[in-house]
C-alpha cells in the first residue's frame, strides 16, 4: 500500500512538473495541447508531445492555433495575415472621391471612404443638385446625403501569402441609405377661354412659388474599386433598392370650370417628374412601383 501511494504521488508530481516545463498550445476549437514547441514556421507549428517514447514530432496548422504559452511565460499569438492591420500599415486609408458623371447633370457628387479594418470601410457622400442653374431661378436645387458600410470580398481560397493588395482594392457589397431635399420654384397661371369670342387669355396668379421634394432610398450596391500607386482610385458600382419621394401634386392642372383652369409651370410641385432625371443621379419608379437604381463612376485621391 505504501508503494502504491508513492507511485501515485510520483505520477502527480511528474504531471505537475511536466506542465511547468512544457509549452501550452491553445487551439481555436478550445482544445489545449501540452508539449514542447520545436519550430514555428510560416504555415505550421511543430511540437513534441509530453508522453513521447518514440521522440516523434507532430505538426499543427498556424491557422488552427489561438496562442502558445511557453514554459518561460512568454505568450505567442497568431494573426490572420489577411485581417492583420499591421500588414497594411503603409496603406492610405482615406479616399476622397468625385463622381465624374455628375457635372453632366448640373450637380456635384462627392464621397469620402474611410477604412477602419481590413475588409470593412464606411463611405459618406454629398450630392449637390442644381449647380450652374441651367433653368435660372426655376432650377431645382438641393442636396442628397448618403452613407453605407462597405464590405470587401475575401478570396475563395486562402494561403499564407493571401492579403489585400490594398485595404480598399477589390470587389465589394455596400448597403446604402440616402436622403435629402430638393427645392424648386414655379409659377401658377390661370387660363381663360371665352366661347363667345373664341379668344383665350392667361393671367399670372402667383410667381416663383416654392415647393420642396423629399427623397429617401435604401439601395444594395455592388462594385469594384481599383487602387493605383496607393494614391489614385477608380470605383465603378451599381445599385438597386427601394426609394420614394414626396408627391404633393399628382398633376399640373386644376380645372376650375369648363373654360377656366389653373396650371403650374416648370413642373409645379413634381419637379422630379418634370425635369431630366440625370440631374439627380438616380432613378425612382412610380408610387405603386417604388424601385430605385443608380450607376456611378468615381475617381478618388487617397490620403493617409
DSSP 231-298: TEEEEEEEEEEEEEE--S-S-SEEE-SSSEEEEESTTTT-HHHHS-GGGTT-EE--TTS-EEEEEEEE
What is d(CA 160, CA 195) in angstroms, rounded to the nearest whole number?
A: 87
Domain boundary among 77, 103, 131: 77
Which has the higher per-residue pLDDT, 292 or 79?
292
Residues linked to residue 94 through DSSP beta bridges, in sequence order: 114, 303
* pLDDT for 95: 97
Indicate whether 142 and 7 sit together in one domain.
no
Q: Report which of 148, 141, 140 is spatially closest to residue 111, judged by C-alpha positions.
A: 148
Q: What is the pLDDT of residues 102-127, one digit of tens each?
A: 998 899 999 999 999 888 999 999 99
What is d(CA 70, CA 20) in angstroms, rounded to the nearest whole number?
A: 9
Distances (CA, A) of 242 to 218, 284, 293: 5, 8, 8
Indicate whether 126 and 249 sit together in one domain.
yes
Across 19-24, average pLDDT:
74
Q: Provide the grid cell at 227.
A: 487602387
Indicate whether 58 and 125 sit together in one domain.
no
* pLDDT for 135: 86
Domain boundary among 46, 77, 108: 77
Across 160-166, average pLDDT:
71
Indicate whether 16 and 71 sit together in one domain.
yes
What is d(CA 224, CA 249) in angstroms, rounded to the nearest whole number?
A: 40
Q: Are strands 75-77 and 65-69 parallel, antiparallel or unpaired?
A: antiparallel
Indicate whether 49 and 121 sit together in one domain.
no
Domain boundary among 32, 58, 77: 77
Is the confidence at residue 238, as pLDDT, over 50?
yes
Task: Please report, for the domain that includes residue 32, its CATH number.
Answer: 2.30.30.100
pTM assigned to the model: 0.74
Q: What is the pLDDT of residues 34-75, one digit of tens each?
A: 999 999 987 789 999 988 888 899 999 887 888 999 988 899
Q: Which residues contact 196 (CB under 8 A, 6 or more apart)?
A: none
What is d(CA 206, CA 211) in angstroms, rounded to the nearest whole number?
A: 13
Q: What is the pLDDT of residues 75-108, one digit of tens each?
A: 998 777 677 777 788 999 999 999 998 998 899 9
Indicate whether 234 and 282 sit together in one domain.
yes
Q: Which residue bears the cell 477602419?
A: 116
With beta carbons less than 8 A apart as the criterion, state whether 173 and 232 touch. Answer: no
Indicate whether 108 and 55 sit together in one domain.
no
Give how many domains the chain has, as a whole number: 2
Across 282-291, average pLDDT:
87
Residue-range definition of the domain harbouring residue 61: 2-77
Indicate whether 168 and 70 sit together in one domain.
no
Indicate whether 99 and 230 sit together in one domain.
yes
Is the confidence at residue 197, as pLDDT, over 80?
yes
Q: Report which of 280, 292, 293 is spatially closest to residue 101, judged by C-alpha positions.
A: 280
What is d(CA 94, CA 88) in angstroms, rounded to the nearest whole number?
A: 13
What is d(CA 87, CA 54) in angstroms, rounded to the nearest whole number?
A: 40
Indicate whether 296 and 157 sit together in one domain.
yes
- Rg (the chain; Cα; Å): 34
Indicate whether 131 and 36 sit together in one domain.
no
Indicate whether 49 and 179 sit together in one domain.
no
Amino acid at each position: 500500500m505504501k508503494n502504491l501511494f508513492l507511485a501515485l504521488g510520483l505520477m502527480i508530481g511528474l504531471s505537475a512538473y511536466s506542465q511547468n516545463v512544457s509549452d501550452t498550445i491553445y487551439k481555436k476549437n478550445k482544445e489545449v495541447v501540452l508539449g514542447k514547441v520545436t519550430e514555428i514556421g510560416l504555415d505550421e507549428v511543430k511540437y513534441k508531445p509530453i508522453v513521447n517514447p518514440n521522440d516523434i514530432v507532430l505538426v499543427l496548422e498556424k491557422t488552427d492555433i489561438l496562442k502558445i504559452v511557453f514554459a518561460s511565460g512568454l505568450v505567442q499569438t497568431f494573426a490572420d495575415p489577411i485581417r492583420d492591420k499591421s500588414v497594411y500599415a503603409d496603406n492610405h486609408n482615406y479616399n476622397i472621391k468625385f463622381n465624374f458623371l455628375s457635372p453632366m447633370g448640373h450637380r456635384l457628387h462627392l464621397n469620402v471612404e474611410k477604412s477602419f479594418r481590413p475588409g470593412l470601410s464606411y463611405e459618406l457622400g454629398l450630392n449637390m443638385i442644381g449647380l450652374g442653374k441651367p433653368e435660372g431661378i426655376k432650377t431645382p436645387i438641393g442636396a442628397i446625403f448618403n452613407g453605407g458600410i462597405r464590405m470587401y470580398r475575401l478570396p475563395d481560397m486562402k494561403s499564407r501569402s493571401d492579403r489585400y493588395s490594398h485595404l480598399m482594392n477589390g470587389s465589394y457589397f455596400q448597403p446604402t441609405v440616402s436622403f435629402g431635399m430638393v427645392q424648386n420654384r414655379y409659377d401658377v397661371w390661370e387660363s381663360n377661354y371665352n366661347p363667345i369670342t373664341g379668344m383665350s387669355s392667361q393671367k399670372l396668379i402667383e410667381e416663383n412659388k416654392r415647393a420642396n421634394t423629399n427623397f429617401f432610398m435604401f439601395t444594395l450596391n455592388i462594385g469594384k474599386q481599383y487602387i493605383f500607386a496607393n494614391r489614385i482610385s477608380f470605383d465603378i458600382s451599381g445599385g438597386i433598392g427601394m426609394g420614394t419621394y414626396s408627391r404633393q401634386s399628382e398633376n399640373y392642372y386644376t380645372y376650375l370650370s369648363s373654360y377656366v383652369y389653373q396650371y403650374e409651370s416648370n413642373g409645379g410641385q413634381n419637379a422630379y417628374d418634370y425635369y431630366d432625371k440625370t440631374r439627380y443621379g438616380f432613378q425612382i419608379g412610380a408610387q405603386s412601383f417604388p424601385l430605385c437604381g443608380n450607376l456611378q463612376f468615381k475617381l478618388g485621391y487617397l490620403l493617409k
